[in-house]
Structure 1
Amino acid sequence: MPVSLTTVAFDADDTLWHTERFFRLTQAHFADLLADYTEPEHLHERLLEAERRNVGHYGFGIKGFVLSMIETAIEVTEETVPASVISELMACGRDMLAHPIDLLPGAGDVVETLSKSHRLLLITKGDLLDQERKLAQSGLGDFFDWVEIVSHKTPAIYERTFTQHAEGPQHAMMIGDSLRSDILPALSVGSWAVHVPNGPAWALEQAEVPKNHARFVALSSLSDVLSHIANL
């Protein structure tokens, strides 16, 4: 084990378990529901605008997504959206909140293995109740020494968390699928960062890949994390 790396932190959604694909499936259903009012491409643009406006109010997660869909439906139908469509969107949200956890390949083995040699943290954003539910259902909760559920991931969050629950940012590594939320702010405070993408990133999470950064690496699979850490 590298002497200087004592703590490994993981993102949750789309790093340890699938999430984004359920949002995309629901968004496709949303387009079907409003097919008589607008084209899917236009609806997607309007929904993204609503999400961008609302993220500061509702935060990240399913509930904010559903509210943004409802707001978009009202706008694109010029306030004539049928109540049945609103009801269906709310049902979609409930289905998403109740969906069983589907771990990504290698997630369980990687977390369990690293828990034997490193302090493990979970740093995730989103709705508190939903994230707690997913962690409990994942079966991974007991492997983490600390769980941090926040509204937004900022450099200050990483600085504080790695200082309070580790030996400082310089001795910690953040692993996640989002360049904007997981990688860039962790690198900015001096941590290692490992990007493991899981399909196309949500538009609000996209960012430029760091170039020639000594503490950054992109891996194609979460399972590759073990050999990467062993070779630091």
Structure 2
Amino acid sequence: MYNALNAKSIATMILWSFVVPIVLVLWLGGLPDSLWSLIRLVGLAVSLYLALLFAIFGTSHYWSPWRVIWRFVPALNHWIYPDLNGIWFGSTQSNWPVVRELREAAAGGGGCDLSALSEVELLRGEIALNVRASFFSISIRSRVGQTNADSFSTFAVAEKCGCGPDFTISYIYTQEVPQPQSSDEATHIGAAILEVTPCSPPVMEGHYWTRRKWREGMNTAGLIGVERLSDMHAGPTQNLLEFAKRLKDRPIWE
């Protein structure tokens, strides 16, 4: 989430947070009386600073100090960046029916009415996300209902923008389909850009793209809309979709 901070804010945070270990080291060890003592003091202060930085901001569990602060001061979700940790559940809307119609028209040789493609109803499905976020990293695991496919983010970045949506999260993921159909691949990559609205409960909405069978023109795109059901994480072996549906049994789009 540090990406959401501008350079001035990061520099200010580093400067002022470094004062604490310096003062603590001086209080415990006193002023240095030689160059070697000064080097040792600086090294100790840096080590202590890095340890405190990781302890406060480097974890994503429920009782992580920064998450506790965010719960006591909810305005930080607007001032800095929302705490995205937890279980999210909602819907996808895929353009697969449009892709299928184009392929069927090409196979039949009769053509199709291009102006009517925008009227083709999108394919709706369910999706659940498990987001783990610290100040230094974000990981997203998801499961979709139509294919029981699991995906894992390989890259994710949170941003705070002065123009357009205040908060966004962009990520690249790898998706694994346990029983791929003729239109699927066992493994493919995709990407998503979501706008984050830190309301109560928080909501993320945006678009996704896949590289599924792109050479055959079967790569898809669509919409994602999810809301957070819980700020706790699911276990690594839990069925994410079933767990989320037990928390809430309806999609965002009805």
- Whether the TM-score (by the shorter chain) exceeds 0.5 is no
For CA contacts below 8 A with separation 6 or more, give which structure has more relative contact order. 1
Which protein is richer in helix relative to its size?
1
TM-score calculated relative to the size of structure 1: 0.31
| TM-score (ref. length: structure 2) | 0.29
| Structure with larger Rg | 2
1 or 2, which has the higher strand percentage?
2
